[in-house]
Amino acid sequence: MPDSRLPERAAGLDRSVAVPAPGAARARAEDLVRWAVVMLGCSIPVSVAMDNALLAFILCCWVAGGAYREKLAAVRGNPVALAALALFGLHLAGTLYTIGGTRDVLDSVTKSGRLLLIPALMPLMRAAEWRRRGIAAFLGSMLVTLALSCLLWLGWLPVNEWLKGTVQDPVAFKAHITHNVFMAFAAFLLALAARDAGTRRGRLLLSALCAAAVLNVLLMVPGRTGHIVLLVLFTYFLCLHLRAKGLLVAGVVLGSLAVVVLLSPDTMLHRRITLADDEYRQWRAGIPPPPQSSIGQRMGILRNTVEVILENPVLGVGTGGFPAAYAELAKRGGDAPTRNAHNEFLMIVAQFGLAGLVLFLALFGTQWWLAARLPGRFDRAAARGLVLTIVVASILTSTLVDHAEGFFFAYMSGLLFAGYGGEAMRGGWRAAAGGDRRSLAPQGPGASAAGS
């Protein structure tokens, strides 16, 4: 006699061996790529090789993942993504008239290709939880860096081959310029997270970590670019809370800090300021700077870079043409050649003329403007803090040329500005700190900017 339950069993068997729906498989694949993006936030302060591997994986998956209509719509709808693509397009256009050799051109195009990470992250990281994970990954990596730096400075961790630092220069994975720029921005993010913490314990913990990062920058690691970045971010943070009074408070605090540094000749900050002043005076006096003179070397490079710009004011020397143009000028003046102008603004103008400067400033201007339209006050403040960090660093270093700074700028830009039209991270930080655990309601791009 036939089993009357056979059709039902057959249906159950079909369900047990059913393959996942294409939509579910695609969602899991996208989550895998998003986790790679999160891991990139962790690797940027640590490993060049891991940066390159993760970037290649993310971009390959972006191309192979299809759904181009949705991805391109997300890019077209984000002004920051368009500004980044325009700047990358200028680097491609500059290859048509460059005076640089093939190696220099390819090197410059490859480095500017990091800008493509900005639009690539827009469709991937729109959800607040993924952006929060990316920020947390970066902060986690910086806290490990902070701990290792402090141990080196205290002499509790012996100098070894897998760390770059010494007791006098207690960095962990990057040179002190990069270390301090990243640590200053990490301190700023910790301050924002402490402001949004939902519990007193969480606020105290985040504030303590922020204070430790600040002390690491000001007292331990001799990276002057990071010192300036930290002071600018500190002033901006006070202005967020106190508005016009914040400038007054910042002036009082910075003035007090200057007095303390002046009266403390044994501190690292006092020695670095004194050394910079001595090196600048030697350069002004016409004394040839020794190789270890950072300020003297930089001033000479900046002077020669301006000469390169004056000789090619309209279109510049093209993509990757700076090393060749500088080498020719340095040969005439008896100076050493260089591939790095140590100023991203001058580097851009030297290669692309006025058009380069306009597009570079347009990128920063677009980021500052769009930051006010991000959905949460953490998002808004963090995005504008990023702009301040990179603008200040670009005056003193070549941020798009340097590997870590270039990746950092592209990653943070893509991550933070992917929130345009998405969900706010503010409530997520409160939930992570033990406060409000309710789900976040999506907020549109026109959300109020009050409190930013």
Query: Token digits for 260?
Result: 């303390």
| Residue whose token pair is 């050394």 | 275
Higher pLDDT: 447 or 346? It is: 346
Place of tokens 């279109």: 315
Q: How far is CA 308 from CA 109, 167, 279, in A?
A: 20, 40, 24
Predicted pLDDT at 426: 53
Tell me which of 247-251, 326-330, 439-443 is least confident: 439-443
pLDDT tens-digit series, residues 295-305: 767 787 888 89
pLDDT category at 15 given cuts 50, 70, 90 is very low
Residue 74 CB-half CA count within 13 A? 21
Phi, psi of 324 (to 5 degrees): -70, -45
DSSP string, 137-150: HHHHHHHHHHHHHH
Q: What percent of the chain has pLDDT over 90?
A: 44
Residue 122 near residue 78 (C-beta atoms within 8 A): yes
Instruction: Look at residue 199 in the predicted model and tell me its pLDDT.
Output: 87
DSSP character for 265?
T
**H helix or E strand, kind and range, residue 222:** none
User: pLDDT: is 10 or 208 the higher one?
Assistant: 208
pLDDT at 313: 86
Instruction: Determine the average pLDDT of the residues in 253-273.
Output: 72
| Mean pLDDT, all residues of the chain | 82
Q: Taking a C-beta distance cutoff of 8 angstroms, is the pair 87, 302 a contact?
A: no
Amino acid at 245: K
pLDDT tens sequence across 79-133: 999 999 999 999 999 999 999 889 999 999 999 999 999 999 988 888 899 999 9
Quick one: which of 429, 374, 427 has its CA closest to 133?
Answer: 429
Minimum mean pLDDT range among 244-248, 306-310, 442-446:
442-446
Task: Read off the pLDDT of each residue in 354-369 and give the average, rounded to a whole number.
Answer: 95
Whole-number Å distance between alpha carbons of 399 and 232: 17
